[in-house]
Amino acid sequence: MDRLTVPGTLDSLDEIGKYVVRVAQDAGLDKRATYRLRLAVDELATNVITYGYERSGLSGDVDICTEIDDENLTVLIEDSAVPYDPTETPSPDDFDVPLEERPIGGLGVFLARQAVDEFRYERVDGHNRSILVIHRPVADMETQER
Amino acid sequence: MAFEATLVTTDTAAIITLSGELDSSAQQIFREQIEKAAADRPQRMVLMMQDLEYMSSAGLRALIYAKQKVGSEGDIYIVGAPEGVLETLEMTGFAPSVIIQETYDA
pLDDT, tens digit (0-9, with 9 covering 90-100), for A76-90 = 999 999 999 999 988
Longest dimension (CA), chain A: 57
Complex prediction ipTM: 0.94
pLDDT band at A130 (very low <50, low <70, confident <90, very high): very high
* CATH assignment at residue B23: 3.30.750.24
Low-confidence winner among A103-107, B36-40, B92-96 (lowest mean pLDDT): A103-107
Q: Is the pLDDT of residue B55 over 90?
A: yes
H or E stretch including B59? helix B57-70
pLDDT at position A1, please?
A: 87
Beta partners for B7?
Answer: B16
Q: Is the pLDDT of residue A36 over 50?
A: yes
Low-confidence winner among A88-92, B1-5, B21-25 (lowest mean pLDDT): A88-92
Predicted TM-score (pTM) of the model is 0.93
Domain membership flag for residue B85:
yes
Residue B13 forms contact with A (CB below 8 Å) = no
Mean pLDDT of chain A: 91
Q: Which candidate from A35, A42, A114 shows the least CB-CB separation from B23?
A: A42
Q: Identify the CATH assignment for A2-145 out of 3.10.150.10, 3.40.640.10, 3.30.565.10, 3.40.50.620.
A: 3.30.565.10
- State the burial class of residue A7 (Cβ atoms within 10 Å of its Cβ: 0-12, 13-18, 19+): middle
Q: Is the pLDDT of residue A140 over 80?
A: no
Domain membership flag for residue B3:
no
Q: Tell me if B31 sits within 8 A of B63, measured CB to CB.
A: no
Beta partners for A127?
Answer: A124
Q: Which domain holds residue B61?
A: 8-101
- pLDDT above 90 as % of chain A: 76
Mean per-residue pLDDT, A57-85: 96
Residue A52 Cα to chain centre, angstroms? 15
- B22, B23, B68, B86, best to mutate vs chain A, most A CBs in 10 Å: B23
Residue A8 forms contact with B (CB below 8 Å) = no
pLDDT at position B106, please?
A: 74
B24/A50 CB distance under 8 A? yes
Q: Is the pLDDT of residue A32 over 60?
A: yes
Euclidean distance between CA atoms B71 and B90, whole angstroms: 21
Q: Tell me if B60 sits within 8 A of A111, measured CB to CB.
A: no
Domain membership flag for residue B1:
no
B67/A114 CB distance under 8 A? no
pLDDT at position A112, please?
A: 95
Local structure of B65: helix, strand or coil:
helix
Q: How far is CA B35 from CA A36, A65, A113, in A?
A: 29, 39, 32
Residue A95 forms contact with B (CB below 8 Å) = yes
Domain membership flag for residue B72:
yes
pLDDT band at B100 (very low <50, low <70, confident <90, very high): very high
Mean pLDDT of chain B: 95
Euclidean distance between CA atoms B15 and B12, whole angstroms: 10
Residues of A in contact with B25 (CB under 8 A): 10-11, 13-14
Q: Tell me if A85 sits within 8 A of A118, measured CB to CB.
A: no
- The size of chain B, in residues, is 106
pLDDT at position A139, please?
A: 63
Q: Where are the domains of chain A?
A: 2-145
pLDDT band at A144 (very low <50, low <70, confident <90, very high): very low
What phi, psi does B6 have (nearest 5°)? -125, 140
> In total, how many domains does chain B have?
1
Euclidean distance between CA atoms B31 and A18, whole angstroms: 24
Chain A nearest-CA residue for B25: A10
Domain membership flag for residue B26:
yes
pLDDT band at A16 (very low <50, low <70, confident <90, very high): very high
pLDDT band at A145 (very low <50, low <70, confident <90, very high): very low
